[in-house]
Each structure stands twice: as structure tokens, then as C-alpha cells.
Chains A and B, each alone.
Chain A
Amino acid sequence: MVELVDNNGRRWDIAYGSGAEVSLANITLDGEAIEIGEVQISADERAQRAWLTIDGVSRLVHCVKVGDDWWVHLDGVIQKLTVSEAGTSGVDSGGGLTAPMPGKVLEVLVEEGRRVKVGQDLLVLEAMKMEHRISAAQAGLVSSINFQAGQQVEAGDVLVVIESDEESE
């Protein structure tokens, strides 16, 4: 079983048969089974390429894994799918707001213990010589602020933790 989360935050669970040319056993999207024809996947001799065959029609797929992410180019579209550990939810549901890129915190606009609305500015980050306003993706209570103005942050650092209203209800 392979569990993946796509660019839109949706979760795919896929079971394959065994062998060098694997066939699909079943696939679910956000827990719901999807009906699909006969699917096979085989590696190409050249690195970072595979063939995806559905009902006898094959298409070339370019795919590279970086960290936990599979980057896929297929039918003219690039997508990223993250391999998630079995049993975890895959997406970051902790309400933690992470730095989208390395930079410097210029200003913190909220305080711990305050309620914030969706879209409310939380802090100002300077990166690539531009100022970026980081805003809340969800409403809730600011339970911790992990950086102060002037501090450097790395991409992926949790800047602010928000306890979601939905969770506490």
C-alpha cells in the first residue's frame, strides 16, 4: 500500500500487485474507492522514467523523488505527491504555520493567546529582498509564537501555532 497526498491536499491510497511490471489492485481518493480499468506501471530503462499503461494505452511519465516528494510530469502537467507514513494523516493538521522559505522575521503582528481570523496578518517575513505578509490559513487561538523580530528562519520552520476553532469545538 502506498499513501500519497497531492498538491491539493487530497489523499490517495493505492495497492499494487507484485513484480517488475506492477498492476493496480485498488485505489481510493480520500477514502472512497475509484473504478478504473486495467493499470500497469513499469520502469523505463532510462532513469527517472516510467510507463503508465491503462487499458493497453501507454504514456511516458517523468518522475523524480526528492525527500518524501514524488515529482511527476505527465500529459504536460507537473505534479508533486508526498509519500505519507501509514496511519498518519499526511497533511499538517496541527495548525502550525511554517515558513514558506528561508528569511528574516521583520515584525510579529500578533500575540500569544490572541484569537485570529482567517487571512489575518500574523507576521512580516523578509526574503529575497521582498517583504511578505504571512497570514492565518485558519481561525483560532494563537497558542505559540516561535520567533521574534530580527530572527532568521529556515524553510519549514514552524513560525506560529494556531489552535483551530474547529478542533476545539
Chain B
Amino acid sequence: MVPSGPEWMDGAKRPITKVLVANRAEIACRVFRACREYGIASVAVFSDADEGALHVEMADESVLLEGDTLAKTYLNAEAIIAAAKSTDADAIHPGYGFLSERASFAAAVNDAGLIWIGPSVRAIEEMGDKITARRVMAAAGVPIIPGEEIQMKDEHSDMVDDLVRAATRTGYPLLLKASAGGGGKGMRVVREPRYLQQEFEAASREAAAAFGDGTVYVERLLEKSRHIEIQILSDTHGNAVHVFERECSIQRRHQKVIEEAPSPAMTAELREAMGSAAIAAAKAVDYEGAGTVEFLLAEDGSFHFLEMNTRLQVEHPISECISGLDLVEQQLRVAAGFPLSFTQDDLTIRGHAIEARIYAEDPTNGFLPATGPLAMFRPPEGPGIRLDTGVREGDEASIDFDPMLAKLVVHAADRAAAIRRMKRALQDFVLLGTTTNIGFLADVLSKDSFLAGETTTDFIEVNFPDGWHPGCLDSDEGEGIAMLAALAAGGAEHLGLHRRSTAGVAAEGEGGRGSPYNPFLLLRRNFP
């Protein structure tokens, strides 16, 4: 059967009728929802570890990628393109991570006669390499951070010598970054020369393991700065708009945990200046679709280009909340060849949005990833609350993939109301069976400095100098709740509530955990 596209696709230069999402978890679910809303069929790919996963259920069809490594499954360009061909999909959406910023994958998709829902191969190549990106940005008049590249040579020792010289010229404290890095991987802060070599070796190992390239880059660490990024939308007809900023300064291990839009530090003039710089960045590479230009906003009000992410961003929902746009719909429209249906003047900021990333991790122990069953998973509900997730009750937080379980997003009339709403939503989130950062996130939002908008990238180190533990903000209240919890847990144990509970959870305790095929676990799942 030849698939027929939705009516709105009539007259499209490159009509899209069926999209394969080359990704998993929440972002795959996010794209599938958009496909359903806009009348486009969808195909999921999945590995053995994801059999029965939420994203597989949400797609119209699914294809198993055989193999037990990422290279054989979610990073296997050939198998994914073959899956698109075999299911008659006409377009591929890469999500974020995995193959989303691999120019070779975008090229292979195009060569296979499929529509790539993303920017051109050239834009991915130029922006994907941080060193090239800096050159392109400097040429386009976009301000950049002082720093230099270190060319990979054959002799390891030569590179260290070059590194020491470059580090001395750049000045300490500095940031070591793998050219092909991202998401905090291959990135290290070096405060003193004596730690340079040790951190360099760790950074290049991480980068080589995660990205297959060990080239590094040194740049000056701008302290007391904010991470502010501009959402961009460009079409294939030369039009580009910015969809305002997101502030993502609250980070641990160089990974964002809380993002908000608009930024409490923003003024109309600064927004205009950063928005224009981001559009200039997009135009410099003839950008098409949704992208993000990341900047550091220094204490003195100057801003510097960090990098451009040539894909949909994890934190895109907060921009959707304040702009009213569906960014995935816009990606589909641009990929189909339609011009943007609005101009910059049509866009306005409505209210304030915050995203909190719920991670399976231990905030009392260096935010190390945690694993375990999601024995109870009851997200908060109510006005202005959105949850983007790829898991549900009965699933497992496993070592196989990224530990992000869900993105909790709130939207309210202003920043103070959004903070109140997020605190309430976090308190209402019943997620039991695995250690998460929920309590930590609630405490971040309770800090006076957060309420005051004093959000800089060192926020967590400055506000939690002794680390975090449950009840560390308000000891009296914490004490009371600790006792109530002990009374309740002791009572539940005494009553034998665990023996009365459902088969699913009993199975977790008996070593049944970890198997997605366990029929008892499947019985406990909430189907969407």
C-alpha cells in the first residue's frame, strides 16, 4: 500500500508520510506523539534491551536492531536505513545523541533517497567540530571564548608539550574539551598546571571511548557565567527566526539538570543582541530546521559562542511552552520544504517555563548513576505540567543507557509561579525503587539564590559546598519527616505489606528484576 500523507502535506516539495525515529526513550516518544498529531505514520527501532519499551509501543511499527552493542544497534547507520527502507518510511528523525550529529549518517540517509529531518551535511560537519565551529563563528562576527586548538599528532608526548604551551597562553583556570565531545563527556576543568596532564589523559580517553576521536581543545574557564542558549528555526527558503533563550546554568558534572525560559538575567537589548548573533551563526552555515546556539554570558554582560547543536535539544519543551510552537512539527514542515509560516515579529514570550531532568542517580554520592526497578512511578498532574518520558512503572533504570528517566516541565504566568509549581510537582512525584535526584532538584528550587535568579554555572558547588543529603536544607522539618518515614516503613514491614503487594514488585525482590520479558512485570505496566 502506498502511504498517503496528511492533507497539510499537499504541495510539499518533499512530502513526508512516514517517519522512522533513529532513537529511543523519551525523545522517540516525543517525536511519535507529534507524528500522530500531524497525521504521519511512524516507525521505531529498538535493541534487545528495549524490547517492550514505551517508545516501541508508541510507534505504528517497529524494527529490531540485532546485536548487543550500541555500535550494532542505535549507532548502526546501515541497519537503521535498511529498517526505513523495509518499512517504506520516507524520512528519518534522529532525535538527540546517538547519530543525530553524525554528518556521515545524514549523508547516508540522503543518499538512500530518504528525507533527513535536520540540517545539511555541511552544517553538521562545520558545527560538529568545535574547532571549525569557532573559526566559522569568528568569521561571521559572533564573539568567541579565548582559547586554542591542539592538533593531534602521531607522538603522544608532542601533544602534551603543545598542550602545556597552549594552556599557558590561554591561562588558568581552563577547560579541556574534546573536539568531538558533548554532554559533559571529554570535558575537564583544570585549575592548576600540575593537574593538566592527568585531566588531559582522562578527557581524551573519555572522548575516544564515547566519540572515537581524541583531539582536544583548551579554553579559558569563564567563572560566574551563565549558560544561555538561543533556539533557532530556519527554513530552506532563507528565513530564520530565534525562539528566544533558555538558561541552563544549573549543571552537575557539566550536564544540565534544570533549565528555564526566559532567563532571569535577560534584558530586551541583550536578547536582541544574542538572538541576532545566533541567527548570524545559523546563516553562516545555511542552517535548516531547529538548532541551538549555546553561549556563555559572562558577569560583565559579554556573551561568547560555545557551540551549536545541530539537532533538537533535550530542553526544547520549555521553548515550546513560552512560544506556543511545536518544534517537532516545525522540523517536519521545514524538512518537507515548507517556508516558516511566521516571522520574528509574530513570536512573543508567554509566561515562564522550567524543566527539571529526573535522573536515576545518587545526589548524595557525586551524582553517580543509580540502577534499579521503577517499582512505583506516579508522575504529578495538574495545570501547566508536562512530562516527557520513555519509561513507566515496572521498567528498570539500567546501566545500558543514559540515566535520564524523565523531563518534568512546568509552565506558569511568571517565574515565581513556575518555581512554586515545579516544587509542588517534584513533591508529588512518586518514584520508588531506584535512587533519583528528585529531592535534590526540589532543594535547588528552594534556595534563595535560585529564587533571586542568581543562577551561574557554579550554582551547585556554591550552594551545596558540602554536597547534598536528604533534609540538608531544613534540619527540623527533615528530622520530622525522617521519623514519619521510619514509622511508616516499620509499620509496613510489621504488617507485611510487601507480601500483599502485587506480583510485579514481589518479583523484583526475588531476583526477577532486570528481565523485560518477565510476565509479572508486564502485567504491572501502564499502557498509554
* A interface residues, Cβ below 8 angstroms from B: 2, 4, 6-8, 10, 12, 14, 16, 20, 22, 24, 27, 29, 34, 36, 39, 41-43, 47-48, 50, 52, 54, 59, 61-67, 70-81, 83, 100-103, 106, 124, 126-132, 155
Contacts and interface: CB of A to CB of B under 8 A. Distances in A.
A65 B481 CA distance: 19
A50 B505 contact: no
Nearest to B433: A66
A66 B442 CA distance: 24
Nearest to B398: A102
A75 to B, nearest CB: 5
Interface residues of B, number: 63
A12 B486 contact: yes
B150 to A, nearest CB: 20
28 contacts: A7-B470, A12-B483, A12-B486, A14-B486, A24-B487, A27-B490, A34-B483, A39-B487, A41-B495, A48-B501, A52-B487, A61-B488, A63-B497, A64-B501, A65-B492, A65-B493, A65-B497, A66-B509, A67-B508, A74-B485, A76-B427, A77-B481, A78-B432, A102-B399, A106-B205, A128-B399, A129-B206, A129-B210
Interface stretch (B16-24, B335-343, B368-376): B368-376
A129 B69 CA distance: 13
B432 A73 contact: yes
Contacts of A131: 202, 205-206
A61 B495 CA distance: 14
Given A6-B486, A12-B486, A65-B505, A100 B368 contact: yes
Contact of B399 (A72, A73, A74, A101): A101
A34 B488 CA distance: 15
B122 interface: no
Contact of B469 (A4, A7, A59, A155): A7
Interface of B: 184-185, 202, 205-206, 209-210, 253, 362, 364-366, 368-373, 375-376, 378, 399, 402-403, 426-428, 430-433, 435-436, 438-439, 442, 469-471, 481-495, 497-498, 500-502, 505, 508-509, 513
Nearest to B491: A41
A71 B484 contact: no
A6 B508 contact: no
Given A127-B369, A131-B205, 12 more contacts: A7-B470, A7-B482, A8-B482, A12-B486, A14-B490, A41-B494, A65-B498, A66-B509, A67-B508, A74-B488, A83-B493, A130-B184
Contacts of B493: 2, 4, 65, 70, 83
A139 B482 CA distance: 29
Contacts of B366: 132
Contacts of B362: 100
Nearest to A48: B501
Residue from B202, B362, B370, B491 having most chain A Cβ neighbours under 10 A: B491
Nearest to A128: B369
Given A4-B486, A78-B439, A16 B481 contact: no
A106 B491 CA distance: 44
Nearest to A102: B399
Contacts of A12: 483, 486, 490
Contacts of A70: 489, 492-493
Nearest to B505: A64
Contacts of A54: 484
Nearest to A6: B482
A144 B25 CA distance: 41
A66 B484 contact: no
Contacts of A2: 489-490, 493-494
Nearest to A23: B491
Contact of A16 (B205, B484, B486, B491): B491
Given A2-B494, A48-B497, A101-B370, A8 B433 contact: no
Contact of B489 (A72, A101, A102, A130): A72
Contact of B492 (A7, A63, A76, A129): A63
A80 B435 contact: yes
B490 A78 contact: no
Contacts of B442: 76
B369 A63 contact: no
A131 B436 CA distance: 20
A81 B490 CA distance: 9
Contacts of A66: 372-373, 375, 432-433, 505, 508-509, 513
Nearest to B364: A7
A48 B432 CA distance: 10
Contacts of B483: 12, 27, 29, 34, 36
Given A2-B494, A48-B376, A72 B485 contact: yes
Question: Which of B439, B481, B485 is the most central at the interface, judged by chain A CB atoms within 10 Å of its CB?
Answer: B485
A8 B475 CA distance: 12
A47 B185 CA distance: 42
Contact of B403 (A8, A14, A74, A128): A128
A5 B373 CA distance: 20
A103 B442 CA distance: 29
A79 B509 CA distance: 18
A81 to B, nearest CB: 4
Contacts of A47: 500-502, 505
Given A8-B469, A64-B501, A72-B485, A78 B431 contact: yes
A22 B482 CA distance: 20
B381 to A, nearest CB: 15
B214 to A, nearest CB: 14
A81 B486 contact: yes
Nearest to A7: B470
Contacts of B509: 65-67
A33 B442 CA distance: 31
A75 B378 CA distance: 15
Contact of A126 (B209, B426, B432): B209
A131 B178 CA distance: 14
A77 B253 contact: no
Contact of B402 (A48, A81, A128): A128
Contacts of A61: 488, 492
A52 B484 contact: yes
Contacts of B502: 47-48
